Amino acid sequence: MRQEILRLEDVTYKKEDMIIFRNMMLNIMDGEVMGLCPLNTYGLDELLEVIISNPPLYYGYVYYQERCVNSWKETGHGRNRICIIGSETSLVNGLSVVTNIFTLRAGFGKELVNEHILARQLVPFLEEIGISLDPFMLVDNLTSYERVLVELLRAIVAGYRLIIFREIGTVISEEELKSLHQIMHYYTGKKFSFLYISFHFEEIQQICRRAALMSEGNIDLIFEEEQVQKGVSNALYLDYYNHVSHRVHHHVRASGEEVLLVRDMSGRYLDHFRFRVYKGECLVIQSLDTQIYKEMLEILNQEDGRLHADMVIRGKRVKGYASRQVAFLKEEPSQTMLFEHLSVRDNLCIALDGKLPSIWRKKGTQKSVREEYARIFGEDIFDQYIHELTLEQRINVVYMRILLEKPDVVFIVQPFKHAGTPHRLQIWELLTLLLERGIAIVILAMNMSDSLTVADRVIRINRVNGKMVTKEFTQEQFAELPLYVPWVEFFDELEEKETAEEET
Amino acid sequence: MFVCMDRGVAIPESIWIFLGLVGVTVAVGYFWIGKPYRKLIAQIQRFSDGYISLQDMNEMDVALAPEIERMIRHINKLVTSARNLDMSKRQAQYRALQNQINPHFLYNTLEGIRSEAIIAGLDNLGDMTEALAVFFRYTISKVENLVTVEEELENCSIYFKIQQYRFGNRIRLKVQMDPEDKDDILHCLIPKLTLQPILENSIIHGVELKVDEGLVTIDITRTKTRLLIRVTDDGVGMDRKTLDKLNAKLGSKEEEVKNYTRPEKGGVALVNVNNRVHLIFGEEYGMHVYSLENVGTSVELTIPVVMNENELKKKELE
């Protein structure tokens, strides 16, 4: 007989007098990997809060391991034994792996800790999932994948029956994701359950037998195994799909002059990696190895302005970003790259003061900038402070800054990360706008997400037997990419159509 | 007696006693008046928003004054008597209809048609008539409140067989349950005519409107305390507005009252099944609908595991 690990029964949740979701029903059985595919982020944080923290409910019941832990009649006490593993670490830096796994958990009552005994206790856990890890290593030195595994082991050791993976595909590489899926399968055999949250149904298809589709804070449909395997992505993102497919059909980008050549990018893992980008071209560099990815980001995001790679822009060697010919957008730039307590106008002036140091004094220039961009982004946001803006407006400001800077090349790290369908569509439009203005884009990613729809070329980079291996795909070769990469099926269909047209 | 402070200023003991009394009064006020008052307000709010029924209000253990409790009981009595009157009216209508139909006359006629069909070599017509006779026998004759899952599934397959004469191979039915729990599941008790209306809904509003072949799946899972029945179809689905409206109807306890006084059109079968489940098993059980346009619909019904009627009576007493 199966056990129900989690059940939300008819839950209505209100926050600040606003109903976030109404009549929510969700259940997860033991030994199950349940997928959750949100079309937008609305209500997602609150849903996780209801699952984990037992906040007061307006109506409904929450059951964990078939026991009512929270209801509208009586608010639950404390948190449920459920953990979330996502892009932020929950490990305590400065402490070893073994300390994080064993001693920093509820119920660990020993006062004298012998790390060697704990390390011996950890060995069977590591052996059963076939990984080797130094138990005494400080967690600061772990790779992203190792960090995820340590968090998973900590949850397993603590006896958490439900573990939530939130957009884990954006944190670890494809190869590591496959290994993680195997480990998850192993634990489902031991009756542990997982809630696997991803914005891409293709990723959910790889691991989940059932999946819930969520939009505007509601669970729209629960997909059973057959439906999950059949794939319903086109129906899910119909507007987005139609929009993008129409544009990709009409997208012809002439390969213009070479604007950037990066050569001799070397480090511990990178070995004389080189690539070139042309004017108005979008190149996606997808790393299948987290170490390489991390190293590449470290080299390209040199905050001291000194690049550890040979970078040639329009035939001239540059030594950093001081020339402002190259721009760099970090992950989630709308949260990390704007000055919160300055107005939008001031944020834009900062972007321009490299080229026009007098921008702060020249009200006329400021006015013309405002007029030019008000047509695209609307008039009302210029005098607002960043912290007053919606996410959509913040994303606009980030890309407006790039448009103002007019660099030859912009490096963008996982632009679609944490974005629901409407924001993905918005980012897609903004990237297309940059390309139309002749700015070359280099997307650095571990998870392809929607990058394929905007890409002209893809370089996949991996480590095989300790050696770096790269493979390049032009747009005509996109159909050769693995099927689980989002949008590959679209290019497959495109290729078939073109072949059919040629034959007729 | 004086209590000495650091700076040598003495505070009379009476002040301490006074402060103690104030503390006790505040605590008593909070636990006996404040907390129950807040609880009562929350309940009245949920009642006005349609989340809980009058009966649930009546069962609550909070009342500020015996008068309020009496008032709620009285309102409940008024509503229940109106409901009972309506129910007895409906029952009388149902009985009259049943008498008009005369089950034996109906079965004999159907049996006659079947024999004629077989003699004429129309085997399909014979089978169809037989299926119809069995379906009517189950629907009209059996008056029990609870039946086994096996009986309900049997009725579903007969209903599906009749529908297949209309749709041919355009519709398929799949019933799945964990083989380990199959015996247990089949012997669980559920309200009569619970599954067939859901199946009918899936066919009529889901796969019938679809151009291609449609599949309806009945999936039953048993846990320690619950029976989870999921009827899924890959039909045309429904838009968000209709879905929200339907789920609000299913979630609202107002419907229990509303339905007896003025029946509404649209989603009535599901709402009725849901109301019966609420009335028999309580508000923690019931139905929820998931749907996505052009992808499909899934109806999930949750009921407690009941193996015999005595168990249910025992639970009611508890």
- Say yes or no for a CB contact (<8 Å) between B221 and A29: yes
Q: Which positions 66-85 of A are in contact with B (Cβ < 8 Å)? A: 66, 72
- Looking at beta carbons, which residues of chain B come within 8 Å of A222? 230, 290, 298, 300
Tokens of A364: 């006329």
Q: Tell me, what's the pLDDT at B265? A: 47
Distance CA B159, CA B47 (A): 39
Distance of CA A418 to the CA centre of its chain: 5
- The nearest alpha carbon in chain B to A75 belongs to B39
Residue A265 reports pLDDT greater than 60: yes
- Looking at beta carbons, which residues of chain B come within 8 Å of A221? 237, 290-292, 295-298
Best of A68, A70, A220 to disrupt the B interface by mutation (most B CBs within 10 Å)? Answer: A220
Residue A450 reports pLDDT greater than 80: no
One pLDDT digit (tens) per residue for chain B, 318 residues: 444 455 566 778 888 899 999 999 999 988 888 888 888 888 888 877 777 776 666 666 666 677 777 777 787 777 777 766 666 666 666 566 656 666 677 788 888 888 888 888 888 888 888 888 888 888 776 656 788 999 999 999 999 998 988 888 889 999 999 888 999 999 999 988 899 999 999 999 888 888 888 899 999 999 988 999 999 998 888 988 888 888 888 876 654 444 444 444 456 788 888 888 888 888 788 899 999 888 889 999 999 999 887 777 776 666
- Say yes or no for a CB contact (<8 Å) between B223 and A3: yes
- Say yes or no for a CB contact (<8 Å) between B302 and A9: yes
CB A212 within 8 A of CB A222: yes
- Looking at beta carbons, which residues of chain B come within 8 Å of A12? 51, 251
Residue A51 binned pLDDT confidence (cut-offs 50, 70, 90): very high
- Say yes or no for a CB contact (<8 Å) between B284 and A2: no
Q: Tell me, what's the pLDDT at A35? A: 95
| B219 touches A at CB < 8 Å | yes
Span A446-461, mean pLDDT? 84
| B224 touches A at CB < 8 Å | yes
Q: Tell me, what's the pLDDT at A475? A: 81
How far the first Cα of chain A sits from its last, in Å, is 58
Indicate the range of A68-72, A92-96, A353-357 predicted with least confidence: A353-357
Residues A388-421: tens digit of each pLDDT = 888 888 999 999 889 888 888 999 998 888 787 7
- Looking at beta carbons, which residues of chain B come within 8 Å of A17? none
Best of B216, B223, B224, B250 to disrupt the A interface by mutation (most A CBs within 10 Å)? Answer: B223
Tokens of A389: 């803006």
Span A340-360, mean pLDDT? 80
- Looking at beta carbons, which residues of chain A come within 8 Å of B295? 221, 227, 232, 235-236
ipTM over 0.85: no
Q: Residue A255 — left, alpha, or beta (φ > 0 → left; ψ -120 to 50 → alpha)?
A: beta
Q: Tell me, what's the pLDDT at A295? A: 87
Nearest to A235 among B232, B290, B295 (CB): B295
What's the CA dihedral at A476, A480, A482, A484 to 10 degrees?
50
Alpha carbon distances (Å) from B96 to A280, B19, B87, B135, B137: 80, 73, 14, 20, 17
- Looking at beta carbons, which residues of chain A come within 8 Å of B240? 216, 218, 220
Q: Determine what percent of chain A is predicted with pLDDT higher than 90.
A: 24
Q: How far is B284 from chain A (nearest CA, A)?
A: 7
Ranges of H-type helices in chain B: 13-28, 35-48, 54-59, 66-101, 103-119, 123-136, 149-167, 182-187, 195-202, 240-251, 254-261, 268-281, 309-317
Q: Residue A223 — left, alpha, or beta (φ > 0 → left; ψ -120 to 50 → alpha)?
A: beta
Residue A237 reports pLDDT greater than 70: no
Q: Which sign does the torsion angle of CA A224, A226, A228, A231 carry?
A: negative
Distance of CA B18 to the CA centre of its chain: 56
| A209 touches B at CB < 8 Å | no
Detail the DSSP E strand segments found in A82-161. 82-85
- Looking at beta carbons, which residues of chain A come within 8 Å of B243? 220
A428: nearest Cα among A279, A293, A198, A248: A248
Task: Using the structure block, give the residue that is written with the tokens 């067989």.
Answer: B161
Residue A107 binned pLDDT confidence (cut-offs 50, 70, 90): low
Distance CA A235, CA A221 (A): 12
Q: How far is B209 from chain A (nearest CA, A)?
A: 17
Count how many residues are written for chain A.
Answer: 504
* Among A142-146, A240-244, B267-271, the range of highest mean pLDDT: A142-146
Establish how many alpha carbons lie within 13 A of residue A445's alpha carbon, considering only the half-sphere containing its beta carbon.
28
Distance CA A404, CA A424 (A): 22
CB B115 within 8 A of CB B107: no
- Looking at beta carbons, which residues of chain A come within 8 Å of B237? 221
Best of A1, A64, A233 to disrupt the B interface by mutation (most B CBs within 10 Å)? Answer: A1
Q: How far is B292 from chain A (nearest CA, A)?
A: 6
Partners of B95 in the β-ladder: none
CB B277 within 8 A of CB B205: no
- Looking at beta carbons, which residues of chain B come within 8 Å of A23? 247-248, 250-251, 288
Alpha carbon distances (Å) from B101 to B104, B109, B134, B137: 9, 11, 15, 12
Average per-residue pLDDT for chain A: 84
Residue A488 reports pLDDT greater than 80: no
- Say yes or no for a CB contact (<8 Å) between B296 and A221: yes
Helix, strand or coil, per DSSP, at residue A424: helix
Rounded (5°) CA angle B265-B268-B274: 155
| B250 touches A at CB < 8 Å | yes
Rounded (5°) CA angle A147-A149-A154: 95
| A232 touches B at CB < 8 Å | yes
- Looking at beta carbons, which residues of chain B come within 8 Å of A22? 244, 247-248, 251
Tell me which DSSP letter residue A254 carries.
Answer: -
Best of B46, B187, B288 to disrupt the A interface by mutation (most A CBs within 10 Å)? Answer: B288
